[in-house]
Chains A and B, each alone.
Chain A
Amino acid sequence: MAPPPPGTAVQMNQAAIRTLTPYGFLVPALLVTALVILYPVAQTVLFSLQDYLLYAPDDARFVGFRNFSMALKDEVFWISLKHSAVWVGGIVFAQLSLGLVTALLLNQSFWWRGIARALVIIPWALPSVIIGLMWTWIFDFNTGVLNDLLIRIGLISQPYAWLASPQSALACVMLALVWQGFPFFAVMILAGLQTVPKELYEAAEIDGASEFRQFIHVTAPAIAGIVATAVLLRIIWVANSLDVILVMTGGGPGYTTHTLPLYAFLRAYSGMEFGYAATLALMLTILLLAIVWLYVRQQAKDLDA
């Protein structure tokens, strides 16, 4: 059949259908996204503006931004926010460093490399609750293996209450999460390292570059994109994670291991104050969105360049 003459109504309809068809294909995915993401977000925003108690849902009333102003005056909010910053910064930095070293080692050639690559993924594959329980018993004051080891090698003479001491509790919980998360960086960076062409290293070697110089000028630029993406993902995941803290200390002693999501969780499920907890969760989301925005802006600049 001959195509309709240009500019006719039939051709314009066909053009409209062609333009709209992709959107039609997107509709199911958009609907699912709206249902599982936008609806809960909208509900959280709605809760944050209400005095919503889970045990008295019929008495919920609109309070505007009162929950937000309460949060800003809440001592525990600021303590939790400070701990969240230490938590995210410390854990992501330590995981990245350890993951980078592990990836560089696993990129070397040795006869049991296959087994080593499989073993290193184990902490990442374990459920957080198991990790929390495992480290709780490692750090246990009375029966923990850490105290036993340190006493045997003479570093301490008395057992130390690792999880009950304000000086060490947060660091101990962070250590557990570092252990769980460094394989993620290791695997991501390893994947990046394997895409770097060998010729670049050969050329650098001919030019007389030391191994350190090769790392700085060849390896680092090649894996920078992957590292940036991995860091962004980990920042979001670590900032939101509370399961390991909940299992190991429940946020204690006192507020020593309170982070913002944990505090929101406790207000939601211990006090059943869903309105206030939604406010805390929303404030954390806004902070995380700011980080994502900075990242996306940086990526866009790199692409333009």
Chain B
Amino acid sequence: MKRRTFVKLAGASAFAGAVSAPAIAQGVTTVRWWYHYDNPQNTPAALIAKFEQANPGIKIQAEAIPWGGGTDYINRMFSSVVAGNQPDCAMVRLAYLSRFGQMRALEPLDGYLTKWAERSDISDDVWKLNRAPDGKQYYMPLHYVVIYLYYRQDLFQQAGLQPPKTFDEFLNCAKTLTKDGMYGYGMRGGGGCHDNWGPFVLGGGASFDKGGMLTDKALAANRFFVEFATKHKVVPPSAPTDAFRQIVDAFKAGRTAMTIHHIGSAAEMVGALGDKASAVPLPRGPGGGGWTYFGDESNAIFASSKVKEAAFKWVSFLSSGDGNVEQAKLSGQLPITTSGLKNWTGHPKRFVEASFASLPIAQTLPDNVKTPDFVGRVLPTNLQRALLGETNPDEVMKAVEQLFHG
């Protein structure tokens, strides 16, 4: 081939490429979506295939992001926003909403939602809970969990105990069941410890309002919680650093008689212990107050996305009908739709009932830019020091108060 002919051919093919490229881009829209599941072996491939079949013009590029107690996921999320490499949409939690708001990172969904026929299949309470302080709706609710108490039915029966309804009953059960190498309460003092600390301290009278961590009631509630380790010794010595994997494995191995987590670990518990594992709502405080963590999960669309329409089709597919039911199965959580919940068979009934029964005291963490730091650093380090007896328990409360209110 002569040089001139080659150059002509190359030029022609480059031109053809340039002309055909937009046609391909117009034909298929790619939506990047970030997700995480507790069980990393679960994959949304079948769900995506079903969606793509119904929406031939849209391709979903799903990227699994490690959860890492929440810290890894959120780090990557905010770093990607700052770097301008965020996905089109992603699974998010209410605790991030303030930071997203400050970064003006999210697209309001109100315009899309008014035209969305499936909206009424999600209860108004959930929409209210997900609304941003500016009155707009940035989150599309996806599924949820409520933290409750796992307990060993067989051991309780043998000891003649009833599942605890109050803090004092809980302490009594934990004391009675701590024997022969078993500990009454598998406490989580490592990553994610807020969901163990909250029920006893926030449920015992503390609050995130200004001064709310330093009232007599709040300080007493925190001391009560810390004394499970320092005074009563009803938790394993490893409790200060035990995280999700350790508390679940210890319960499954029969090393603890009670532990605090949500329905996401029910399948594992039942797999190891069968009917011996059961669940009830968390106990109430001396004044009858209670608190448990409402583990919300939603999808949000980023303001920078060039394919917002397609992204909304995807996130609305995940929050409606069978799509929501399948998604809840993959995440191990509960469907957000009323219709999905009605016929839900994803978990044994007793765990679903314990989740519903916990709803009256379920709350989210405060919508504050400092909340991720509270969860990831301030509470774990200060609580661990108190649990080891290195500092006075009141220091935990001072540190939390200082973080939120200076």
Contacts and interface: CB of A to CB of B under 8 A. Distances in A.
Interface of A: 54-57, 140-143, 158, 160-161, 163-166, 169, 249-255, 266-267, 269-272
A250 B246 contact: no
Contacts of A161: 236-238, 240-241
A178 B237 CA distance: 26
Contact of A55 (B103, B250, B381, B391): B103
B377 A254 contact: no
B373 interface: yes
Interface in B237-256: 237-242, 246, 249-250, 253, 255
B242 A253 contact: no
B79 A54 contact: yes
Interface string B162-183: 0000000000000000000100
11 contacts: A54-B79, A54-B82, A55-B78, A56-B369, A164-B239, A166-B388, A249-B241, A252-B380, A253-B387, A254-B388, A266-B376
Chain B binding surface, main DSSP class: helix
A271 B373 contact: yes
B338 interface: no
A143 B246 CA distance: 9
A269 B75 contact: yes
B264 interface: no
Contacts of B26: none
Contact of B373 (A142, A252, A270): A270
Interface residues of B, number: 38
B373 A166 contact: no
A304 B327 CA distance: 70
A254 B385 contact: yes
Nearest to A144: B238
Contact of A271 (B191, B246, B250, B377): B377
Given A164-B240, A255-B381, A271-B377, A55 B253 contact: no
B190 interface: yes
B81 to A, nearest CB: 9
Contact of A270 (B103, B242, B255, B376): B376
Contacts of A253: 189, 240-241, 384-385, 387-388
Contact of B390 (A140, A158, A166): A166
Contacts of A165: 237
Contact of A272 (B78, B255, B388, B391): B78
Interface string B360-404: 000000000100110011001110110110110000000000000
Contact of A254 (B103, B373, B390): B390
Interface in B25-81: 71, 75, 78-79
Nearest 3 Cβ contacts at the A-B interface: A141-B238, A254-B385, A270-B376
A11 B35 CA distance: 68
Contact of B249 (A56, A142, A269): A142
Contacts of B255: 142
A251 B377 CA distance: 10
Nearest to B238: A141
Nearest to B240: A253
Which of A158, A160, A253, A266 is most buried by chain B, counting CB atoms within 10 A of its CB?
A253
Given A55-B369, A143-B253, A269 B241 contact: no
A272 B255 CA distance: 38
A57 to B, nearest CB: 6
Which one of B241, B246, B249, B382 has the highest number of Cβ atoms from chain A below 10 Å of its Cβ? B241
A252 B249 contact: no
Nearest to B71: A270
Contact of A250 (B103, B191, B238): B191
B377 A266 contact: yes
B157 interface: no
B102 interface: yes
Given A55-B102, A57-B82, A252 B377 contact: no
B241 A252 contact: yes
A57 B82 CA distance: 8
